[in-house]
Amino acid sequence: MIYEIDLLNDDQIKKINDIIEFSDYESGMMSANYTSEDIKNNLQVKGYEREELISYVVDILNNSNDFTEITSSKSYSGLLFSKYEKGMFYRMHNDNYMMNGSRTDFSSTIFLNDPTEYEGGELVIKLGNQEFSYKLDAGKCLIYPTGLLHEVKEVTSGVRKVCVFWTESCIADKEIRSMMADFHFMWSKYYDEAYEKLGQDFCAQLQNIKFNLMRRYGNFSGVLQK
């Protein structure tokens, strides 16, 4: 399943973009396994500014209940702050199963500028024989299972700015991981209604089922208490 969440507020979006505005960039090929810009053609922040941005965004992720519950996050890797100017793209590809020594269970894109600021640049994810296109508002984060083919369409005008990264989940089992993500999605959507109609005892027992599944299937070694 593919999830959209609200991750950044206006102040956080501004801070990230202020840093990006005065950053140095390098070719996106520096983080690719390819040797041809016919596949990947973009730019990414480098140096001290990237390290500052990584620290800032990781803190936001750790404090996002939606993100941590959907992914059961254990660690993050490969945070890249990229921009696509006119004519830039990333052809259909698959993300690596490992990134900086961590398993990649979820791929995420945080959109950093308004979709009206550029033409083209849609993130297209292939699921079976269907393709889904995303061009979200600034501050939104798209989360999807690593392993799905995807691409960034060519930007025909303006500049597309995003942060992309990968998450290793505490849950190695793919099916259980997906169930836990779906549980949180439904829990957050219907909790108030369930509480009103069925009461606290029901909600507590339902949540305890999740906790017991996490105890059974989760590996929390090395995870800091949040």
Q: Is the dihedral of CA 218, 221, 225, 226 positive or negative?
A: negative
Quote the pTM value: 0.91
Q: Alpha-carbon distance 25 to 93, whole Å?
A: 23
pLDDT at 160: 98
Rounded to whole angstroms, the Cα distance separating 101 from 34 reads 19
- Residue 14's pLDDT is 97
Q: From start to end of the chain, where are the E strands? A: 3-6, 25-27, 40-41, 43-45, 73-84, 89-93, 98-99, 102-103, 106-111, 118-120, 123-127, 130-134, 140-145, 150-152, 155-158, 160-169
Q: Which fold is adopted by the domain 3-169?
A: Jelly Rolls (2.60.120)
pLDDT, residue 168, reads 95
> From residue 43, how far is each of 16, 24, 51, 90, 122 by CA, in Å?
16, 10, 16, 11, 16
The pLDDT value given to residue 226: 44
Helices 48-62 and 10-21 cross at an angle (nearest 10°) of 170
pLDDT recorded at residue 225? 46
Q: What is the pLDDT along the chain (226 residues), one digit of tens a residue?
A: 899 999 999 999 999 999 999 999 999 888 776 656 788 999 999 999 999 999 999 999 999 999 999 999 999 999 999 999 999 999 999 999 988 888 999 999 999 999 999 999 999 999 989 999 999 999 999 999 999 999 999 999 999 999 999 999 999 999 999 999 888 888 888 888 988 999 999 999 988 988 898 899 988 876 654 4
- What does each C-alpha distance from 181 to 67, 143, 184 come to in angstroms? 9, 10, 5
pLDDT of residue 118: 98
Domain boundary assignment for the chain: 3-169, 172-226
